Amino acid sequence: IQEIVNISENLVSKNYEIADISKKMIENLLSMEEFGKKYALLKKDNYIVFLEKANREFNSNLEKIW
């Protein structure tokens, strides 16, 4: 019974971690869209820097759940 409890706890923990990372990935995608639009409109290089940072964070989070 203890082994089943441990497995269950591990699954819940892993699911929470994946849900948390997924939320961050959605935020990264929204940021990339926002900064891409701002760059297209204003042509300021700092928006490209922000977009690249959000992209790196997205890829990093993807690796964590892959």
Three-state SS across 26-40?
Answer: HHHHHHHHHHHHHHH
Residue 10: CB atoms within 10 A of its CB come to 10
Tens digit of pLDDT for each residue in 12-40? Answer: 989 999 999 999 999 999 999 999 999 99
Looking at residue 1, its pLDDT comes to: 84
The number of angstroms, rounded, from the C-alpha of 24 to the middle of its chain's C-alpha atoms is: 3
Tens digit of pLDDT for each residue in 55-65? Answer: 999 999 999 98
Looking at residue 62, its pLDDT comes to: 96
Q: pTM here? A: 0.82
